[in-house]
Amino acid sequence: MNELLKQDISKAFEQSFNLAAGNELIIQKTRKEFIGDYTINVFPWVKQIRKSPEEIAQTIGNYLLNNCHYISEFQVIKGFLNLSIRTQTLLEQAFKEPTISQSKQQQIVIEFSSPNTNKPLHLGHIRNNLLGNSISLILSNFHNVIKVNLINDRGIHICKSMLAWQKWGNGQTPENTHIKGDKLVGDYYVLFDKEYKKQIEQLISNGYSKEEAEKKAPLMLEAQEMLRKWEQGDEKVHNLWKTMNQWVYNGFETTYQKLGITFDKIYYESETYELGKQYVLKGLSEGIFFQKSDGSVWVDLTQDGLDEKLLLRADGTSVYITQDIGTAVLRYNEFKPNRMIYVVGNEQNYHFQVLKLVLNKLGFSWANTIYHLSYGMVELPEGKMKSREGTVVDADDLIAELEHEAKQIALKSGKLKDADEITFQKGIEKIAAAALKYFILKVDPEKNMTFNPQESIDFDGNTGTFILYTYARIQSILNKASEQNIVVQKPDAIDINDKERELLLLLIDFPYVVAEAASLFNPAKIANYVYCLSKEFNQYYQSYPILKEENANIRNFRLILSQKIAKTIKRCCNLLGIETIDKM
């Protein structure tokens, strides 16, 4: 509908004023206190046309009324042109199959998750994974999307967990402790930090400055030595590294399954950092980078408005940027993408500025295809989480808490009361997952957010559970219609009420909302749309009978309308990675 209106309004400007409407032409929904369905503001063209806004709006309105069969009437309110659409056109537009899929325009690689193998996935990772997955699903309507994961499986942080397990592990494994592998390794990462701080305090009490103590603490020196041995291929260190990483991979996979996350390709930092080092050394030999007296390699970005950036440490070991250079080159050579999207928190904004600049300096013209999808931090009501101190909320624990809350609510309210034990449990898992995913995704990615588990599971608020319940309610209506042998068929010409008109206009919006979400990389557009659609339907359901409507023609229309709304809710949920439930 929007595209049709844009085309015809543009023609109206050309025919009436010999003027291209251009980008100033914005079509909005008419405010509820006025008559009309769509509104345009004509003030942007007043200077060019040299007429009053009322005259311009009147001229455009008359043209549309005379030349566009779907316009039933118009009103001019202080330079705003309000257009009413014929009911038959609304019905045709709302009930036709939306064409949001197009020929695949581009090849897009989207990286998300990117965990470290020294701790389990936590709440911050959940936002990353859910954003990356939903954006991939949305973009797949328009492009060929390859979902990739870069696992940060090497480096000093990994060595900290390994060293702590060597010293205090006493042979513990996930099998003999019955602790999930990523959780077990994460516990040793926390233990390292605890013991490291004790050593720092001891050194400070012996007269060292805090900075000196942090560098000279024996645990840190041992971890650095372990990293050097790893990069030199020490067999004992590598065997321990492989064993502990596998514990973590097994744990990650369990969490990914709970979240419904899959990848087309997984990269490992241990397999890409060497290529990154090669390009850094190549850049050094060509004078693109420079070496300090201690042997470390740097890039000078002061002419680019930044500062000097470390690319290789003095001992020759890599930093994050090193492996990101190697990974980007591998990825481009493998997929030749038109765009490489990195879903990473906003604390890494600087890092991706540097990455693009470094790749450009190395002569890679495709460096500008890199896009950092920067998102805000997520916290709990009680405040910020810290991995080193063990104050993060594990993803598994959060999911378990939501499932517990969902179960208690279901038992108390009678939700899923007719389900057998297996169906009940699967229903609880879907409800918990919907609560988590929707609550995260309804917030614009760039904003910081607070995740409130209790609020997210509410069946009456702006939540995933409310949307699931709305979908299930419509399925119940349709099932009852079937049981009563009501054959849902296309109604004859019909007059519709204001609420039905509002629902039809919302249905027409669906493909445009998806297109906007794709262009902005913002699933919140779809989340807030599906909530609005669900809320409007529930208000409609409370005000107007559907199955009990005595007029068969009106009943048929309301059943078809309900059917279409349910289908649209399901499609929105699918784009958010949420599974719907037929019965609740």
pLDDT in tens, 529-565: 999 999 999 999 999 999 999 999 999 999 999 999 9
Beta bridge partners of 122: 394
User: Shortest CA distance to 583 belongs to which of 410, 439, 455?
Assistant: 410
pLDDT, tens only, 345-364: 999 999 999 999 999 999 99
Say whether both 76 and 221 belong to one domain. no
Count how many domains the chain has: 3
User: Shortest CA distance to 455 belongs to which of 471, 472, 470, 438?
Assistant: 438
Distance CA 546, CA 559 (A): 7
Say whether both 536 and 405 belong to one domain. yes
Say whether both 170 and 79 belong to one domain. no
Last residue of a domain, one of 260, 283, 303: 260
Q: Is 252 part of a structural domain of the chain?
A: yes
Long-range contacts of 38-46 (CB under 8 A, 24+ apart): 38/1, 38/5, 38/82, 38/83, 38/85, 39/80, 39/81, 39/82, 39/83, 40/9, 40/80, 40/81, 40/83, 41/79, 41/80, 42/79, 42/80, 42/81, 43/79, 45/13, 45/17, 45/19, 45/21, 46/79
Q: Is 55 part of a structural domain of the chain?
A: yes
Q: Is 417 part of a structural domain of the chain?
A: yes
Distance CA 296, CA 290 (A): 9
pLDDT score of 103: 61
Q: Whole domain around residue 225: which residue ranges?
A: 154-260
Say whether both 72 and 162 belong to one domain. no
Q: Is 374 part of a structural domain of the chain?
A: no
Say whether both 78 and 158 belong to one domain. no
Do 541 and 165 touch, CB atoms closer than 8 A? Answer: no
Tokens of 582: 């037929």
Do 564 and 95 touch, CB atoms closer than 8 A? Answer: yes
Distance CA 58, CA 10 (A): 15
Say whether both 74 and 187 belong to one domain. no
Distance CA 10, CA 26 (A): 11
Question: Cα-flanking dihedrals φ and ψ of residue 311, to 5°?
Answer: -115, -30
Q: Is 49 part of a structural domain of the chain?
A: yes
Q: Is 508 part of a structural domain of the chain?
A: yes
In sequence order, the 6+-apart residues with CB closer than 8 A to the CB of 137 are 574, 575, 576, 577
Say whether both 32 and 176 belong to one domain. no
The distance from CA 268 to its chain's CA centroid, rounded to whole angstroms, is 23
Q: How many Cβ atoms are within 10 Å of 349's Cβ, its own excluded?
A: 12
Say whether both 63 and 187 belong to one domain. no
- Report the half-sphere exposure of 408 (CA within 13 A, side-chain side): 9
The distance from CA 71 to its chain's CA centroid, rounded to whole angstroms, is 38
Instruction: Calculate the alpha carbon distances from 178 to 171, 304, 563 in Å.
Output: 13, 52, 47
- In this structure, what CATH number is given to the domain that contains residue 29? 3.30.1360.70
What is the per-residue DSSP string for 241-255?
Answer: HHHHHHHHHHHHHHH
pLDDT tens across the length of the chain (584 residues):
888 899 999 999 999 999 998 888 999 999 988 999 999 999 999 999 999 999 999 999 999 999 999 999 999 998 899 999 999 999 988 888 776 655 678 999 999 999 999 999 998 899 999 999 999 999 999 999 999 999 999 889 999 999 999 999 999 999 999 999 999 999 999 999 999 999 999 999 999 999 999 999 999 999 999 999 998 999 999 999 999 999 999 999 999 999 999 999 999 999 999 999 999 999 999 999 999 999 999 999 999 999 999 999 998 888 889 999 999 999 999 999 999 999 999 999 999 999 999 999 999 999 999 999 999 998 877 755 444 444 568 899 999 999 999 898 888 888 777 788 888 999 999 999 999 999 999 999 999 999 888 889 888 889 999 999 999 999 999 999 999 988 877 777 788 999 999 999 999 999 999 999 999 999 999 999 999 999 999 999 999 999 999 999 999 999 999 999 999 999 999 999 999 999 88
Question: What is the SS3 assignment for 62-77?
Answer: HHHHHHCCCEEEEEEE
Q: Is 140 part of a structural domain of the chain?
A: no
In sequence order, the 6+-apart residues with CB closer than 8 A to the CB of 170 are none
Tokens of 391: 């104050």
Do 143 and 219 touch, CB atoms closer than 8 A? Answer: no
Q: Is 361 part of a structural domain of the chain?
A: no
Last residue of a domain, one of 216, 234, 260: 260
Last residue of a domain, one of 232, 260, 288: 260
